[in-house]
Amino acid sequence: MAINFTGLSNQGSINKSERSHKDDVAGNATEKQNTVQSGGVLAEDTVQLSGTAQTLQNQHSKINDLPNVDMDKVEQIKAAIAAGDYKIDTQKLAHNMASMDSLF
């Protein structure tokens, strides 16, 4: 079902390519206006990080500063586990788990 509204606009009908051309012309004019300030100087882009982004950036730099994994120690622990010689201090493990739980 087609509905024709007449008299609502003083513009004549335009086709898609004419509308696209008008949008491009308007967009280019706005773009030029936004990029050039008085005196012909280009505007500078600025970025301001949110508090969360700053925290993430700080944490990322701290992680990068951590020492590398001691692969010799990792291999020693793997060998001890495989041989059944690796002893776990259950009291210390429980204490550490409880202290981590208090962080949340």
Instruction: Please answer whether residues 46 and 52 qualify as being in contact, where contact means their C-beta atoms are separated by less than 8 angstroms.
Output: no
What average pLDDT does this structure show over 1-27? 54
Q: Whole-model pTM?
A: 0.32
The whole-angstrom separation of Cα 34 and Cα 20 is: 21
| 81 assigned to some structural domain | yes
| 74 assigned to some structural domain | yes
| 43 assigned to some structural domain | no
| 85 assigned to some structural domain | yes
DSSP-assigned letters across all residues of 38-99: GGGPBPPP-----HHHHHHHHHHHHHHHSPPP-HHHHHHHHHHHHHT-----HHHHHHHHHH
> 90 lies in which domain range?
70-97
**pLDDT for the residue 91:** 95
Which of the four pLDDT bands, split at 50, 70 and 90, describes residue 10? very low
| 27 assigned to some structural domain | no
**pLDDT for the residue 73:** 93
Measure the N-to-C terminal CA separation of the chain; round to a whole number of Å: 61
Q: Which residues contact 80 (CB under 8 A, 6 or more apart)?
A: 86
| Number of domains making up the chain | 1
Check pLDDT > 60 for residue 8. no
Q: What is the pLDDT of residues 21-80, one digit of tens each?
A: 555 655 555 555 555 555 567 778 888 889 888 888 899 988 888 888 888 999 999 999
| 30 assigned to some structural domain | no
